[in-house]
A and B are shown apart, each in its own frame.
Chain A
């Protein structure tokens, strides 16, 4: 039975801190990214080629994106390290899921005590001894063969289930939630720093009842952003992992190839979406709405 679990399992512990397979994979991924960057940095050349070209194009792309969204080059230079780091980390976390071995190489644990071993599926010869409570769907009068899922669970319970050693970090809701929290909290801090206390007037505004209501909505929408960031990334990558696992289980040769292509595309797009949305929310946070209103009114006079 394939191992599709929502919650990543712990594989070892460092002292009192449990280390799950997704945390372990995060460290490995970070290590690989740092190794690549340090190797490129050691032999920098004025005309980039190879990996240096790739890294420079990523940086240039985000520098241009930041400049076009934020407006000024100075602001873009302040924002690019954060935005590009988000992109690189999320891309590394996403792309791990298409590497062979991730999710398949693991430790086989003994039958867990919390796996419910259902009642045995009766072989046909012993039907006369079957009390009617043995069929799980006792509502049906005739013996209803739901043998397939339970037989699989039974076999899995006998041989234990596979705990993968590597699991893409983005399939762990903890990681995506942490990234979402970082994004939203940094947005608030940048807004507070740029506008001062007037940033809070976006949320708490007593000038007229409509603004008060809009402020409440804005506050709720900040929390909705956290949820939306976390679940968008988690859902895309976890569903992709489930899709790949199921496709490989059904037809192991050649047919999963388009799905691998789709997953690589999704990895790039989701990383870009995370970074670009953070950038746009930062832009919205540092934009002063009241000054625009006042200056617009001033021009009419």
Chain B
């Protein structure tokens, strides 16, 4: 049933984005706090922040891959 596929696509990514969004919000918040305390260390903090963001975003990307598999395979 093609409608269930669409629902499954939407739900999978939508639910995965909840956790990822909260995680990234916390991460970037702490990074901004750290930059505020020590503006000289900004490049180091930024680099590590981008690294952390890639990790948490990867979880949503996994869900997106599952969604694409549901739809196109």
Contact = CB atoms under 8 A, between A and B. Distances in A.
Contacts of B47: 276
A5 B65 contact: no
A275 to B, nearest CB: 11
B62 A6 contact: no
A105 interface: no
Nearest to A280: B51
A272 B51 CA distance: 9
Interface string A222-250: 00000010011011101100100000000
B3 A228 contact: no
B34 interface: no
B58 interface: yes
A4 B51 CA distance: 30
Interface string B57-73: 11001101100110011
Nearest to A227: B62
B1 interface: yes
B50 to A, nearest CB: 6
A238 B65 CA distance: 8
- Contact-residue bracket for chain A: 20 to 34
A231 B58 contact: yes
B35 to A, nearest CB: 18
B61 A232 contact: yes
A232 B64 contact: no
**Which size class do B's interface residues fall under?**
10 to 19
B68 to A, nearest CB: 7
A235 B62 contact: yes
A105 to B, nearest CB: 21
A137 B61 contact: no
Contacts of B58: 228, 231-232, 235
Nearest to B58: A232
Given A269-B50, A270-B54, A273-B51, A231 B68 contact: no
Contact of A231 (B1, B2, B62): B62
Contacts of B62: 231-232, 235
Given A235-B62, A239-B68, A272 B73 contact: no
A277 B68 contact: no
Interface in B15-73: 47, 50-51, 54, 57-58, 61-62, 64-65, 68-69, 72-73
Q: Which 6 A-B pairs have the closest CB atoms?
A: A235-B61, A273-B54, A232-B58, A235-B65, A239-B64, A6-B72
17 contacts: A6-B68, A136-B1, A137-B3, A146-B2, A231-B65, A232-B58, A232-B61, A232-B62, A235-B62, A239-B61, A239-B64, A239-B65, A242-B68, A273-B50, A273-B51, A276-B47, A277-B54
Interface of A: 4-6, 136-137, 146, 149, 228, 231-232, 234-236, 238-239, 242, 269-270, 272-273, 276-277
